[in-house]
Amino acid sequence: MQSQLDDAGGLRHLVTLEGLARDLLTAILDRAESYRRLPGQPAYEGRELAGVTVANLFFEPSTRTRASFDLAARRLGAQVVNLDMHSSSRAKGETMLDTIYTLEAMNADVFVIRDSEAGLPEYLIDHVAPHVSVISAGEAHLSHPTQGLLDVMTIRSHKRPFAGLKVAIVGDIRHSRVARSTARALATLGTTDLRVVAPESLLPAEGEFRGAQRFTRIEDGIAGADVVMMLRIQKERMAESAALDDAAYFRSYGLTAARLRLAAPDALVMHPGPMNRGVEISSDVADGPNSVIREQVNNGVAVRMAVLAAITATLTRHRRPL
């Protein structure tokens, strides 16, 4: 895969957090903070993306993430086209490139792509024109970079520095792109105490999540944690035989108020959504004082604005002159 940065070190694509430096991540988070508006405040409206066309290509349905990218782009003045890419009619590889080239010929500049299969974002990076950017909005179980960024943005507004933090991620780690991207962002920012907590069958393969401690008992995994990040059970990514009974899962791994008391007293409770209340998390914890789940969503729009603005600034240097 070609670099996600241009020769001047500007962010041109964002399909993975692997290989991105701490300074770059921090710059994105700082910019995101300038865009953040709390619920009830008027949304930031700017012109950073004026003259830019963003094409959302979602091969997986996603109301939330798509709305987040859509609003982020439009609040910065972009034109947005939303294209439903049905799996059945899906074009791969070279044919998919024809779709990209077609939209590029309509002066689309930024492609936001979500795909349940692996490989498309990297393939596109290697083939698009110098004035075109690719952002992954979720790729298979591998990568969800803006989610990783919004997670660390949420953590750092409550807890610093990253170096001393104890972070537990609980749930279906094996199939989770969120876990992978968030773990990567945390490592880049200096967190060394990461715990992955799941039933044996949902723990990651050996060699993944290097340096993380592995737990099969949630009580052990979240003990003393500063951050407890619960994941949604991803039934659509599991073989049927691996599917778990909701009630049994909740008994063994659900985050309840009682279990949360094992973590640090001011531990943050996080969840990428959508939640299955009563499966991986109880409602009183989801809505309780430790929960920053809605802050994550709020930060999500701000992070996507920051990524779009950073990429647009880079693209501007690669524009064809009029």
131 or 237, CB closer to a copy of itself?
131
Q: Shortest distance, CB of residue 223 to a copy of itself, whole angstroms?
A: 29
Cα–Cα distance for residue pair 282/288, rounded to 1 Å: 10
Q: Shortest distance, CB of residue 160 to a copy of itself, whole angstroms?
A: 23
Residue written as token pair 């723990």? 203
1 or 83, CB closer to a copy of itself?
83
Q: Shortest distance, CB of residue 122 to a copy of itself, whole angstroms?
A: 20
Q: What is the DSSP string of 227-296?
A: EEEE----GGGS-GGG---HHHHHHHH-B-HHHHTTS-TT-EEE--S---BTTTB-HHHHTSTTB-HHHH
Burial class from Cβ neighbours inside 10 Å (0-12, 13-18, 19+) for residue 6 reads: middle
53 or 188, CB closer to a copy of itself?
53
Residues that bind a copy of itself (CB under 8 A): 37-43, 45, 50-53, 55, 63-64, 67-68, 70-71, 74-75, 79, 81, 83, 94-95, 98-99, 101-107, 129-132, 273-275, 277, 283, 294-295, 297-298, 300-301, 318-322
51 or 164, CB closer to a copy of itself?
51
Q: Shortest distance, CB of residue 111 to a copy of itself, whole angstroms?
A: 13
64 or 160, CB closer to a copy of itself?
64
Residue 202 CB partners (closer than 8 Å, separation 6+): 171, 172, 173, 174, 175, 242
Q: Shortest distance, CB of residue 84 to a copy of itself, whole angstroms?
A: 8
Q: Are 257 and 282 within 8 A, CB to CB? A: yes
Q: Which residues pair with 274 in a beta bridge?
A: none
